[in-house]
Chain A
Amino acid sequence: MQDEFLNGLVESYDYLEKRSSVDWPAVNCPPDRLLEFLKMLRDVRGFDMLSDLTAIDNMDELPRFTVVYHLYDTQKHTLIRVASNCPEGEPPTMPTATGLWAGADWHEREAFDMFGIVFSGHPKLTRILMWDGYPHHPLRKDFPLAGKEVDLPAADVALATKEKVRPAPMAGGPFHSTPGGHMSESEPRGNDESWSEKKEKPSG
């Protein structure tokens, strides 16, 4: 049934492409047709809820950034995934979906904060997780998990404490658990435990 639905969709809208997916139907949509397509899904096909909006950093591939929408049909309880590649260039841009779903507001702010994607037409596109004035977009693939050195959010606290935002010591991390086995073996640990804060990383 899902295949039928997807095939029908791709036939009626020639700008769509099927997108590989392991669960729900998924399509790629060019950014200039995105809003009209989303509006059609909402008004005609019954996908009345925007359940998620996020982004993907493809890093070495072009175009680098993809915005992903998950729409939910609250009557039929089905989902559809719509992906749209941001046109090349810095900053990556995408039209805002806040006009269709008010709930897109915070999702778009998060995608802006984490990936630096500018949603044109957004009523107030400011950071939502990191503080205003933070200079990086942490979920970009070229941003290290440990972070980069920048100033603390409050200048007076920085002055009083002489502290900065410093890269976290990774010490063989990031920490992750291996599934299965006894709890003592599967608890989170770094990949490489040959060094730590106290013991230098072996060179070579």
Chain B
Amino acid sequence: MSDSNTVYNYDSKVEGDIIFSRLDAVVNWVRQHSVWPMPMGLACCAIELMAAGGSRFDISRFGMEVMRFSPRQSDCMIVAGTVTYKMSEVVRRIYDQMAAPKWVVAMGACASTGGMYRSYAVLQGVDRIIPVDVYISGCPPRPEALLDGLMTLQKKIGREKSSRKLFTG
């Protein structure tokens, strides 16, 4: 039994220099292991995001350490912090500027739901303006939780039917 996501193991005796696989599996495997995050650090959660990049937690073990501050070079926006209505414009605009395929991680209570800020100034969840793939609970989430969220995102990317969209855009 194999579906579009099965990764076939390479057996040199059988296959020689040729590897058989599904296009989806190859494309997803590539995408999954080079996630370039856009650190949208807006409040205290960004401190944990920075910790996740440090040597103790070391985000690069999972192939997603290349934080890019240019939306053109990144494909996963990590919204780490409180999104105010005033900032919502910027968040949406940066998301629009990121090249597809792109994903969004809502890190922490604020980005997911507005958190403890039930107030006139705060957007009650960033999913109101951009589509979110993974929500991470916590205020703030520990770096491990962020890593877990990003690994969940990798699994999600692995399940995508990416080749279908590859040539049609």
Chain A residues close to B by CB (< 8 Å) = 129-131, 136, 138, 143-148, 152-154, 157, 160-161, 163, 165-171, 173-175, 188
Partner of A171, one of B88, B92, B118, B121: B118
Chain A nearest CB, measured from B75 CB (Å): 20
Q: Give the CA-CA distance A188 to B128 in the complex, in Å.
A: 25
Size class of the contact patch on chain B: 10 to 19
Q: Give the CA-CA distance A166 to B124 in the complex, in Å.
A: 9
State whether the Cβ of B116 lies closer than 8 Å to any Cβ in chain A. yes
Contacts A161-B129, A170-B118, A173-B118: A153 and B85 contacting too (C-beta < 8 A)?
Answer: yes
**Cβ-defined contact, B129 with A163, below 8 A:** yes
Q: 8 smallest A-B Cβ distances: which pairs?
A: A147-B120, A154-B89, A168-B118, A157-B92, A131-B86, A161-B129, A173-B118, A163-B128
Extra 12 A-B pairs, beta carbons < 8 Å, given A143-B120, A147-B119, A160-B92: A129-B121, A130-B121, A152-B88, A153-B86, A153-B89, A154-B93, A166-B124, A168-B114, A168-B124, A169-B124, A175-B118, A188-B116
Instruction: List, in ascending order, chain A residues with CB within 8 A of B114's CB.
Output: 168
Instruction: List, in ascending order, chain B residues with CB within 8 A of A129's CB.
Output: 86, 121
**Cβ-defined contact, B89 with A146, below 8 A:** no
**Cβ-defined contact, A168 with B119, below 8 A:** yes
Q: Give the CA-CA distance A161 to B122 in the complex, in Å.
A: 16
Partner of A152, one of B89, B116, B117: B89
Instruction: List, in ascending order, chain B residues with CB within 8 A of A160's CB.
Output: 92
- Among A136, A147, A148, A170, chain B packs the most CB atoms within 10 A around the CB of A147
**Cβ-defined contact, B128 with A161, below 8 A:** yes
Chain A nearest CB, measured from B126 CB (Å): 11
